[in-house]
């Protein structure tokens, strides 16, 4: 079946630094990937839609200069949280559109 690998699974960073999260489709090509954020005990909120070879489409209220998305190949999308602050601490999950929607295992980001 379709597998999406997300890395790292958890990361702790200092306030003001940047963190890159990778999302890879391992056995299929994904022209479209999605990035979600999930706060504790809440649902998944779509942040942006990442399309291979073009600019990402951000949801209302999501700062595109803070959450940089790059989808340089059909199997890799990256999310970079720039100048991270404690309020950016969350669970970030990607999904890839191939055989339906397949989710990665998520990245727990803690900004201290």
Partner 1 sequence: GQQLNQSPQSMFIQEGEDVSMNCTSSSIFNTWLWYKQDPGEGPVLLIALYKAGELTSNGRLTAQFGTTRKDSFLNISASIPSDVGIYFCAGQVPGGYQKVTFGTGTKLQVIP
Are 21 and 5 spatial neighbours (Cβ–Cβ below 8 Å)?
A: no
CA-closest candidate to residue 66, choices 48, 52, 84, 78: 84
* Interacting residue ranges for partner 1, rule: CB under 8 A: 4, 6, 32, 34, 36, 42-46, 49, 57, 60, 91, 93, 95, 97, 100-106, 108
Nearer to partner 1, 75 or 92 (CB): 92
Nearer to partner 1, 34 or 84 (CB): 34
Distance of closest approach, residue 57 Cβ to partner 1, in angstroms: 7
How far apart are the C-alpha atoms of 29 and 41, rounded to whole Å? 32
Distance of closest approach, residue 11 Cβ to partner 1, in angstroms: 14
Extract the tokens encoding 1. Answer: 């079946």
Nearer to partner 1, 28 or 101 (CB): 101
Nearer to partner 1, 27 or 83 (CB): 27
CA-closest candidate to residue 50, choices 33, 31, 73: 33
Distance of closest approach, residue 109 Cβ to partner 1, in angstroms: 13
Burial of 102 (0-12, 13-18, 19+ CB in 10 A): buried
């Amino acid at each position: 079946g379709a597998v999406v690998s997300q890395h790292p699974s958890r990361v702790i960073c200092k306030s003001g630094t940047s963190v890159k999260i990778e999302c890879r489709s391992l056995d299929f090509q994904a022209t479209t990937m999605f990035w979600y954020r999930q706060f504790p005990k809440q649902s998944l909120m779509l942040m942006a839609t990442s399309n291979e070879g073009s600019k990402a489409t951000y949801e209302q209220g999501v700062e595109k200069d803070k959450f940089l998305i790059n989808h340089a190949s059909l199997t890799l999308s990256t999310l970079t949280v720039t100048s991270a602050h404690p309020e950016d601490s969350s669970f970030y999950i990607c999904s890839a559109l191939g055989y339906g929607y397949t989710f990665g295992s998520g990245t727990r980001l803690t900004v201290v």
